[in-house]
Amino acid sequence: MSKVRSIPSFATLLQDFFVERLMEQRAVSQETISSYRDTFRLFLKFASDRVRKSPSDLTLADLDAPLVLAFLKHLEIDRHNSTRTRNVRLAGLRSFMKYAAYRDIASLAVIQRVLAVPMKRCDEPLVGFLSREEVQQLLVAPDPDTWTGQRDRVLLATMYNTGARVSEILALRVGDVILGPSSCVHILGKGRKQRTVPLWRSTATLIKRWLPRIPDAPSHRLFPNRSGNAMTRSNVADRLRIAITRAKEQCPQLRKRRVTLHMVRHTTATHLLQSGADLSVIALWLGHESTATTHCYLEANLEMKERALNAIQPPHVKKSRYRPPDRLLQFLESL
């Protein structure tokens, strides 16, 4: 006689989702784990307050579509999250519900209603980027007479050279950098995809001068904090803010700009495009899975559009208005 499988509790399902599905079966990155973790921290607190149960006592039946919709509304109205952030949180909940559908057949009706909650459409803003003059002032802004200033100069130069995401830059180790006639850096990107990006001579020189200031073990972080540990995203954002403040003294137009970490990545892509690099090359440079993602830089590149406009000479043929040659055609044209 076969044993009847017991239905796992919600708490068991959630723990198995993180340990078995995400970590063991899919081997997702730590960044993905952190994103899903933060989603469920917010959601469980909200659900616990609404249902008046502790998170461990919640059931899948409690987490129905109306509760999920209320949570998404709470994110946008009370927490002032963007539509994109709202969609990221919903993606995390959907991923869990798809996993739960295989483990708890009795809750399929509730799960299907949650999976039917749609992503919200949002505007696609043009990407912002810095001019070459603004980038130059940013790269020389950190104080070269201090340890942190030297690190920040190399950090910003490497970010601009590689166009890497902040998480990718912070994950770089000493052993990932190859210095020589053809200097390059090995980057582990999204989806555990590895890519190699060439280093400009100026960037390679800065890194070569920086390496004696940190332990030379290949496994050591290339950009540590003063304690020798890994920097965080907020650390890098603070250092960028300090550099921008100093750069404004020499580059007044930066006072009207809101410069973000991701804007440095956009700047790299745009400058590569302006230099004539093909979209497929830029996609490989940035670690994009598809050139469709890279296409947004074409939309933002006004300089290339102006060159195309100037290349088109106005036609010298005189245009005349079309007149139908027949009365019946004239009648049809007037309709």
User: The domain that contains 105 carries what CATH number?
Assistant: 1.10.150
- Residue pair 258/268 in contact by the 8 Å Cβ criterion: no
Counting residues of the chain whose pLDDT is more than 70, the rounded percentage is 87
Residues 81 and 50 in one domain: yes
Predicted confidence (pLDDT) per residue in 200-216, tens digit: 999 999 999 999 999 98
Q: Judge if pTM exceeds 0.85.
A: no
Is 333 among the domain residues? no
> If residue 195 lies in a helix (H) or strand (E), which one and from where to where?
strand 194-198
Is 20 among the domain residues? yes
Residues 168 and 260 in one domain: yes
User: Residue 190 catalytic?
Assistant: yes
Q: Which long-range contacts (CB under 8 A, 24 or more apart) does 242-247 make?
A: 242/142, 242/152, 243/138, 243/141, 243/142, 243/152, 243/156, 244/138, 244/141, 246/141, 246/142, 246/143, 247/134, 247/137, 247/138, 247/140, 247/141
Residue among 87, 105, 100 nearest 15 (CA)? 100
Residues 226 and 109 in one domain: no
Instruction: List 186's β-bridge partners, or say none.
Output: 196
Q: Which of 89, 151, 265, 266 is catalytic?
A: 265
Is 40 among the domain residues? yes
Residues 69 and 183 in one domain: no
- What is the predicted pLDDT for the residue at 146? 94
Residues 223 and 195 in one domain: yes
Q: Which of 89, 239, 271, 288 is catalytic?
A: 288
Is 292 among the domain residues? yes
Is 327 among the domain residues? no
Asked which of 15-19, 218-222, 225-229 is least confident by mean pLDDT, the reply is 225-229
User: Residue 160 catalytic?
Assistant: no
Q: Which of 241, 262, 305, 307 is catalytic?
A: 262
- What is the predicted pLDDT for the residue at 269? 87
The residue from 88, 115, 142 where one domain ends is: 115
Q: Which residues contact 327 (CB under 8 A, 6 or more apart)?
A: none
Residue with tokens 């509790």: 9
Q: Which of 165, 221, 239, 271 is catalytic?
A: 165
Q: Given CA atoms 237, 239, 245, 249 in this order, what sign does their dihedral have?
A: negative
Residues 189 and 282 in one domain: yes
Asked which of 5-14, 18-27, 118-127, 222-231 is least confident by mean pLDDT, the reply is 118-127
Question: What does the alpha-carbon distance between residue 175 and residue 177 come to, in Å, rounded to a whole number?
Answer: 5
User: Residue 288 catalytic?
Assistant: yes
Is 316 among the domain residues? no
Predicted confidence (pLDDT) per residue in 64-85, tens digit: 999 999 999 999 999 999 999 9
User: Residue 297 catalytic?
Assistant: yes
Q: Which of 74, 94, 190, 220 is catalytic?
A: 190
Residues 79 and 188 in one domain: no
Determine the structural domain holding residue 31 and report its residue range.
10-115
Total domains in the fold of the chain? 2
